[in-house]
Amino acid sequence: METTLYLAPLAGITDSPFRRLCKKYGADVLCTEMISSRGIYYKDRKTAELLAFKDEEQPIGIQLFGNDPDIMAYAAKAVEEKNPAFIDINMGCPMPKIVNNGDGCALMKDPLLAGKVIEATVKAVKCPVTVKFRSGWSQDTINAVEFAKMAEKSGASRITVHPRTKDQLYSGTANREIIAEVKNAVKIPVTGNGDIFSPESALEMIKETGCDGIMIARGALGDPFIFTYIREFLATGKYTVLPPKKRLAEALWQTREMCAEKPEKIAIAEARKHLAWYIKGLHGSAKVRNEIMKAQTYKQTEQIISEYLQESGCMND
């Protein structure tokens, strides 16, 4: 069974080293972190840094958020110079600092404005424009099907649906029936997103929704290998989990790459959460997690991981 596997855009997480690792282990399509259209319009330096990606990351999309059609069009035209495979519009982020400004999932409350944003973005660029959104703002205002039709009519070439409302954030269970309803309502490709934490859940998503692709978000945290597992499982009905030694070797590779791209102190601070995800569930992980949180350099981090592998007996795995 063939299906396209996407790495979701995750703010503060899906930087270039992590994206490249996901690509190595089977992600077909990558996406940048969520980027502010206003940040691009006002030429914010930190915003510009989020746009960087390497040729080996292709096909990769750039995800933008914003609620002003003109500013979104400007930003889309500006980032198209980076030669992304597509531009994705975020209309699903539920976080207060985003929705309180009228961005992200707040646009699901105003489909008319959302349509204008999509139309303006599509007209501004030659590359495909895609849209990611949720079930709706709240349980009483679920409008994913109508929103999907609007996105298609406005020129979106693909849509991704996370079947939770804004109010749910990431709690409860993703309602896959909504993805199936959206899939039946539009002709453009539909990607399913939400609660893909295992190869088995990926297969369930495909069977229950008929989606054209799967987007993995939280399931890839500390486990970029999930793409390989899903690929193997869809092809053969089974998969082999990487041993701790290999997993942590890749975690250290990611940390080194982060240090190569940023000042070491900043990179190590950002890498701590990734390393904590990598070791989660391993024997004795609580102790080594506490040590990692105190590390200030890559050398210290590497030593902590090396000692853990030797003490836990994982070196021979």
Give the catalytic positions in this structure.
93
Q: In sequence order, which residues have a C-beta less than 8 Å from that of residue 170 and are 6 or more positions away?
A: 164, 218
Query: Do residues 130 and 89 touch, judged by C-beta distance below 8 A?
Result: yes
Residue 4 burial by Cβ neighbours in a 10 Å radius (0-12, 13-18, 19+): middle
**What is the b/e burial string over 156-179, where b = at least 16 CB atoms within 10 angstroms of the residue's CB?**
bebbbbbbbbbbbeeeeebbbebb
Residue 155 burial by Cβ neighbours in a 10 Å radius (0-12, 13-18, 19+): middle
**CA atoms within 13 A of residue 16's CA, in its CB half-sphere:** 18
Query: Do residues 147 and 133 touch, judged by C-beta distance below 8 A?
Result: yes
| DSSP category for residue 83 | -
Strand blocks (E) in 30-155: 30-31, 35-36, 60-65, 86-91, 129-136
